[in-house]
Amino acid sequence: MPISHKHKLIFIHIAKNAGTSLENAFEMESPGHKTWRYYKQNYRNEWSSYKKIAVVRNPFERFVSNYCYAIMDKSYHHSKDGNAKHGKHPDYDSCKNININHLVDLLFSGKVFLNHQGWQTQAEYITDNQEIVVDELVQIENVSEWAKNNYNVDMAIINKSDNHFYLDILNLDSILKLRTMYDSDFRLYYSAVKNFDSIKILKNNSVYRFSDLFYKKGIRWKEDRNIILSDNQYDNSILKIYLQTYKEENDIQLLNEIVRKKSADDKLKTPQKDELVIHLRLGDVMDNYSNDSGFRHFNNNIAHYYNIYKLLKPSSPEQSIKKITVVTAMHFGANDKNGLYFFSENARLKSIEIADMVTKLLKQCYNVEPTILSNEDFDLDFNYMVHANRFIKGLSQVSDLIQKCRTLN
């Protein structure tokens, strides 16, 4: 049984999430892939007193891994001749001659049924009415480090399949369909991700909404312009200087001059010449609002960065790029006039998901680990991006505004 009495640990083995590796490392016997209910019913004492953990995985990566595993002629557990420990993979014949994107279409439309438990949602194993029932979720990327740091156990990864980076093998239609099919698993996985804790969450960014006030957008622009002009807390801000100075609306040239002067006067940080800077607009834009433009739709953000990857990937990596900085924060407009754009856990998790997708695709393209730059003072981020030598804009009006300033330099 996947219970370590030595470490007082219960392990819920979710299929295709490094479970075999963990069980071997902790010298556990495997009963197969059982949900939490099996352990609670059969090991009542341990369930109430031992720590309960599960390993979770990015659902796109897990699906690709399942597919690659199913079509292997020989793996740790299966072989096409049926002579392996667990015989032929139950979905070998169904998957072997089907393109992965065609398989997604068939699954999404309900035209095919697959047997291996790896296709099940991870949520089925460890949630009860959407509530997580284990004590700790461990990202598969960190499981070896977790075992060593917490239990001094050396863990080697076994039963690996020949995987591909999911954006290389899945088309956009498959990405969006899988995102729907495994929605509960995305919430589960990104609730465990801690890589992006440095991203600032601005839960009440109701006034200093840069592009809205510059372009006079929304129902609050006039009121909030007046607040910025009259409130001392906005003194020396880019927007306040602009609003005090401009003669004509949409004066990009003036805005750019203000940014440049402020950067020099305040000695603000700017990117180095061999640095690639990318902007992510996160926060309330991850919630779908029916009365909003296409910016405020999560799927549009997925499509935007997927297409960027497809444009970047075919070309050879620029050897001159030595650093990649992702500039972002989770902005929530908190508009009490219409009751929209307030903080939600859904938007927070989807923001982390987009940040994860973008950092992975950038590393895949340039073989450079991206760093996060996130400030509560948006002027610092705006200045940094305007001064970027190489810049990839995000899917937002403020990103467009930054790009227009950059073209003047």
Residue 348's closest CA among 396, 282, 397? 282
Residue 402 token pair: 């930054």
The Cα–Cα gap between 3 and 9 comes to: 6
Is 242 within 8 Å of 254 (Cβ atoms)? yes
The Cα–Cα gap between 349 and 59 comes to: 14
Number of H helices, E strands in the chain: 19, 11
Please name the residue that has the structure tokens 């997708």: 357
Is 332 within 8 Å of 341 (Cβ atoms)? yes
Mean pLDDT of the chain: 92
Q: How many CB atoms lie within 10 A of CB 288?
A: 14
Per-residue confidence band for 80, with pLDDT thresholds at 50, 70 and 90: confident
Q: Is 213 exposed, middle or buried (0-12, 13-18, 19+ CB in 10 A)?
A: buried
pLDDT in tens, 172-189: 999 999 999 999 999 999
Helix H or strand E segment including 323: strand 323-331
21-31 in b/e burial notation, b at 16+ Cβ within 10 A? bbbebbebeee
Is 162 within 8 Å of 68 (Cβ atoms)? yes
Q: What is the pLDDT of residue 276?
A: 96
User: Where do the DSSP E strands lie in 147-285?
Assistant: 201-202, 275-283
Residue 59's closest CA among 190, 168, 197? 190
Per-residue confidence band for 318, with pLDDT thresholds at 50, 70 and 90: low
Overall average pLDDT of the 260-269 stretch:
97
Kindly state the percentage of the chain with pLDDT values over 90.
79
Q: What stretch(es) of the chain map to CATH 3.40.50?
A: 201-406
Please name the residue that has the structure tokens 């049924």: 113
pLDDT in tens, 45-56: 999 999 999 999
Overall average pLDDT of the 265-275 stretch:
96
Q: What is the pLDDT of residue 284?
A: 92
User: Where do the DSSP E strands lie in 104-251?
Assistant: 127-128, 131-132, 136-139, 201-202
Identify which has the larger pLDDT, 351 or 312.
351
Residue 217's closest CA among 360, 333, 385, 309? 333
Overall average pLDDT of the 381-389 stretch:
97
3-state DSSP assignment of residue 178 = helix
pLDDT in tens, 341-372: 999 999 999 999 999 999 999 999 999 999 99
Q: How many CB atoms lie within 10 A of CB 44?
A: 10
Degrees (nearest 5) of the Cα angle 372, 378, 380?
Answer: 70
φ, ψ (nearest 5 deg) of residue 50: -90, 155
Which of 3-7, 69-73, 254-258 has the largest mean confidence?
254-258
The Cα–Cα gap between 395 and 406 comes to: 16
Q: What is the pLDDT of residue 319?
A: 66
Distances, alpha carbon 312 to alpha carbons 175, 362, 409, in Å: 18, 9, 24
Q: Is 167 exposed, middle or buried (0-12, 13-18, 19+ CB in 10 A)?
A: buried
Please tell me whether the overall predicted TM-score, pTM, comes out greater than 0.75 for this model: yes
Q: How many CB atoms lie within 10 A of CB 292?
A: 14
Q: Locate all alpha helices (DSSP H) within 231-297, ordered by sequence.
A: 238-245, 252-266
Overall average pLDDT of the 281-289 stretch:
86
Residue 107 token pair: 């699954």
Q: What is the pLDDT of residue 83?
A: 84
Residue 328's closest CA among 363, 268, 267, 286? 286
Is 354 within 8 Å of 282 (Cβ atoms)? yes
3-state DSSP assignment of residue 10 = strand
> Which stretch of 165-179, 241-255, 303-317, 340-354 has the lowest confidence by average pLDDT?
303-317
Per-residue confidence band for 294, with pLDDT thresholds at 50, 70 and 90: very low
Q: What is the pLDDT of residue 31?
A: 63
Q: Is 236 exposed, middle or buried (0-12, 13-18, 19+ CB in 10 A)?
A: exposed
Q: Is 16 exposed, middle or buried (0-12, 13-18, 19+ CB in 10 A)?
A: buried
The Cα–Cα gap between 396 and 301 comes to: 10
Specify the CATH number of the domain 201-406: 3.40.50
User: What is the total residue count of the chain?
Assistant: 409
